[in-house]
Amino acid sequence: MRRACAKMWPVTEGVVVGVDIGGTKVLAGVVDEMGRVARTALRTTPGRRVVTSRVEDALVEAIVEAADDQPIAGVGVAAAGFVDSAGERVMFAPHLPWQGEPLKHLLEERLGCPIGLDNDANCAARAEARYGAARGATTALMVTMGTGIGGAVLLEGRVIRGANGMAGEFGHMQVVPDGQSCECGRRGCWEQYSSGNALVRHARALMVEQPSVLDDMADGKPDLITGPMVTTAAEQGDLVAHRAFASVGHWLGVGVANLVAAFDPEVVVVGGGVSAAGDRLLEPARDALSRTLVGAEHRRVPGLVAAALGPRAGMIGAALLVAGDQPLR
């Protein structure tokens, strides 16, 4: 598929801006060819129940502020939602008002430069493949663990977007028949067992069995427990928190084994807020991966590694949409 333009770097005049729009904030930054971020600008996302032009205003403001009076050569947009396969529209987003408006076209008219648009996890995967934890890999998977699970598929140097632009939505693969009910209306989805929400649920269930510092942290009200509380408790050596991470990690490895069976990647990168737990999450996941992966004894089991670029990955990968040559290698 043709992107807005290719090989814009090195730009002779102006700057390339990457912008990441999520449910709470808009982060824009000038990104250079080495993936370095020179100057950023932040706006609050206006919300879901506003006219779409207000969200576009916030995007344009952040982009213009980040560019700081330099001409803008191109802008890449990473959006937390479903982007159509042509990379022109946000079809639906849980926290944004767009429902199929031609966002790429609208921004091109307002900013007068080429615009690239893709889903935030796809953008993060591009950045990790070019500059981060999957650097040098041509076939890689990204699994983003936040409230739920998202992801991206990089096959032979290209991010695979799918017929509807919805490839890589791994969180709703069924891993437990008739299991835990999911917000999507079905049961047993992977993200019900391995995600920020799942971490909290595991911790609450385990607190019934043994004492935990989480009791004090949440004033004795298990409903008040949050993911960051479980992380803090684990850092303090709390056994319940450790067991909750072991459980989430185990299910992470089980789901990743299915993905590896399908795609045979060189590496699997785990990003998103929960991945900050590092080996506390990844060790049990690696264990489960090598035990459940088909043909593990006859293949090189791919590395399961934490993302390297943190919350800026989406913004950096967005810049690659307009400025980087495709495929990645």
CB of 71: closest distance to Zn ion in angstroms? 45
Q: Which two tokens stand for residue 322?
A: 């307009």
CB of 45: closest distance to Zn ion in angstroms? 24
Query: By CB under 5 A, which span of 16-24, 120-128, 178-186, 292-300 interacts with Zn ion?
Result: 178-186
Query: By CB under 5 A, which span of 114-122, 181-189, 205-213, 288-296 interacts with Zn ion?
Result: 181-189
Q: Which of 138/258 has CB closer to Zn ion?
A: 258
Q: Which of 47/92 has CB closer to Zn ion?
A: 92
**Residue 223 neighbours by CB distance under 10 Å:** 7
Query: By CB under 5 A, which span of 12-20, 133-141, 166-174, 296-304 interacts with Zn ion?
Result: 166-174
Phi and psi at residue 136, in whole multiples of 5°? 90, -15
Q: Which two tokens stand for residue 321?
A: 């949409």
> Is 172 a binder of Zn ion (CB under 5 A)?
yes
CB of 182: closest distance to Zn ion in angstroms? 3
Q: Out of 6, 184, 261, 262, point to the residue binding Zn ion (CB under 5 A).
A: 184
> Is 175 a binder of Zn ion (CB under 5 A)?
no
> Is 189 a binder of Zn ion (CB under 5 A)?
yes
Whether the CB-CB separation of 42 and 24 falls below 8 Å is answered with no
Largest CA distance in the chain: 64
Which residues contact Zn ion (rule: CB under 5 A)? Answer: 172, 182, 184, 189
